[in-house]
Amino acid sequence: MISLPRSSGILLHPTSLPGPYGIGDLGASAYRFVDWLEAHGQSIWQVLPLGPTSYGDSPYQTLSAFAGNSNLISLDLLAKDGLLQRGDLVDAPPFPRGKVDYGWIIPYHNQKLSIAWRKFKNSVDGALKLEYEQFLDEHRFWLEDFALFIALKRQHKLRPWVQWEAELRRREAASIAQARSDLAEHIDAERFRQWLFYRQWAALKSYANSKGIRLFGDLPIFVAHDSADVWARQHEYYLDQSGNPTVVAGVPPDYFSPTGQRWGNPIYRWDMIQTDGYSWWIERLKRLLNLVDYVRIDHFRGFEAYWEIPASEPTAVKGRWVEGPRAAFFGAIQSALGDLPIIAEDLGVITPGVEKLRDDFGLPGMKVLHFAWSDSANPFLPHNHRTNCIVYTGTHDNNTTRGWWENEVDERTRNFVKDYLGQDLRDIVWTLARVGMRSTARVFIMPLQDVLGLGANARMNTPGAPAGNWTWRFSESALEHPGKDALLHITRLYQRHPDQQAKPAAAQS
């Protein structure tokens, strides 16, 4: 059981930070954001998954459950370390300032990281190379398979692993050994990039923690089929002889989607994973908890029961509920790692069994205020909040609060909000922020877009939309928006400022 002090924070993925190289990174703008959080009374920076993205650019469909996104590596910090020269960066094209254009930034960053690798190989800095060797040794569990996987993907023009030669798909020993030899230089380059990411992130985390800022990370329950994890551990997933999933994950039809959601992730063979004491999962959580202070597990309810869809089905309609690993899983994780600094994303179809699993391990759940306004019994309304939960105006999957109010709320809902709050609503963003701040919940978090009062064009993700997601960025001047003063004021008013935090009490239900 974890104990969170009464506090508040901001949801912002690092890709949304400003900077000159087309995408937010772990350099100066990240440190300035930490300073901004501290100056405005915030104690938490929540991010999305940090892994390397693939087709579609979603941080929830990554090429590895362990690796970092090399596009987040700060090129300016590499220049500071002598791994790039300032002259290497003068050719930065005029990247869009308000969005991430992945097709443009990826080749540019790859080119600069290749230059850094060549300079590192020729470096005589013994301390730096010792640090690198120590990283390789510490991360061998996942790094060797990942580096080989990426090298092979590049050799195969980024095609999914199920389209490689059969002997590589099946990881036949002779073929794997030959690939490691033939692609040794490319494998080393991938190891190097991961070292850079972990090194820069560790420095940023240390700085944030020194300022009293805790990092909340995000861990999707399922992994992408085209990932190093599935390729390296095929026996732990329901796959056919060619490596394709026989069943996939999703959620059933509901009020919002008559055909449900077919995510397409392969489903774990929990019976196989349990045989070695959940070692892969323990390692996954341990590594992530080196990067962040708390972990939000996305789709927590899948550990109690998950929606299994035959891979041949085009929608999620013809699925079934299948029992998950439940308490045996969390008991094993707790035995290995101690108290679990885990937040359960308990949104969607939540059963008494899901609530019991969450509560038996003392895990905070989530309340999203955009979802609260149906009737007085709605568990997301503040009078129904538990102390041991995290309250949000909205999440990365929601519209911004202004966009939600302007585009998604009908007249009946507007009237219920006004009646519930007993006031006319002149500014829905700060009205909802006050509702969250004054909740009895331990933690309140709002996306930065809400602090800046932005509309639907600043939305981070629209579930089901085929394009246009994960691209939003803010400008350097945005943090001077007057919303910062309102944020500091209500943080103090509702006693969430670090100066007002008493010694943490035991979590309550």
pLDDT 10s digits, 206-229? 999 999 999 999 999 999 999 999
Q: Would you say 179 and 148 are in contact if contact means Cβ atoms under 8 Å apart?
A: yes
- The total of other beta-carbon atoms located within 10 Å of residue 466's CB is 7
> Residue 62's pLDDT band (boundaries 50, 70, 90)?
very high
Mean of pLDDT values over 431-443: 98
Q: Which pLDDT does position 254 carry in this prediction?
A: 82
> Residue 352's pLDDT band (boundaries 50, 70, 90)?
very high
At 364-402, the pLDDT tens digits run 999 999 999 999 999 999 999 999 999 999 999 999 999
Q: Which pLDDT does position 503 carry in this prediction?
A: 54
Helices (H), 302-410: 326-337, 352-360, 401-407
Which of 253 and 1 is assigned the larger pLDDT?
A: 253
Query: Helices 184-210 & 173-182, crossing angle to 10 degrees?
Result: 80
Mean of pLDDT values over 218-245: 98
Distance CA 413, CA 405 (A): 10
Instruction: Please give the structure tokens belonging to residue 500.
Output: 């007002």
At 453-503, the pLDDT tens digits run 999 999 999 988 888 899 999 999 999 999 999 999 999 999 999 999 865
Q: Would you say 93 and 61 are in contact if contact means Cβ atoms under 8 Å apart?
A: no
Mean pLDDT over each residue of the chain, to the nearest integer: 95
Distance CA 409, CA 414 (A): 7
At 260-289, the pLDDT tens digits run 999 999 999 999 999 999 999 999 999 999
**Residue 298 annotated among the catalytic residues of the structure:** yes
Q: Which pLDDT does position 465 carry in this prediction?
A: 84
Among 25, 304, 345, 346, the one annotated catalytic:
345
Among 298, 304, 346, 450, the one annotated catalytic:
298
7-216+392-402+447-500 has CATH 3.40.50.1820 classification: no
Contacts of residue 1, Cβ cutoff 8 Å, sequence gap at least 6? 339, 340, 361, 362, 506, 507
Mean of pLDDT values over 55-81: 97
Q: Which pLDDT does position 501 carry in this prediction?
A: 81
Q: Which pLDDT does position 257 carry in this prediction?
A: 83
The DSSP code for 261 is E
Among 88, 313, 359, 397, the one annotated catalytic:
397
**Residue 397 annotated among the catalytic residues of the structure:** yes
The DSSP code for 461 is -
Mean of pLDDT values over 55-82: 97
Instruction: Please give the structure tokens belonging to residue 427.
Output: 């500014």
Q: Which pLDDT does position 504 carry in this prediction?
A: 47
**Residue 91 annotated among the catalytic residues of the structure:** no
DSSP β-ladder status, 320-323 and 305-310: antiparallel
Q: Which pLDDT does position 421 carry in this prediction?
A: 96
Mean of pLDDT values over 87-104: 94
Cross-strand pairs, 9: 44, 445
- Dihedral angle computed from the Cα positions of residues 133, 139, 144 and 145, in that order, rounded to the nearest 10 degrees: -170
Mean of pLDDT values over 299-324: 97
Instruction: Please give the structure tokens belonging to residue 305.
Output: 């029961």
Q: Would you say 375 and 495 are in contact if contact means Cβ atoms under 8 Å apart?
A: no
Mean of pLDDT values over 307-336: 97
Across 117-126, 268-277, 305-314, 320-329, least confident range: 117-126
Distance CA 470, CA 245 (A): 26
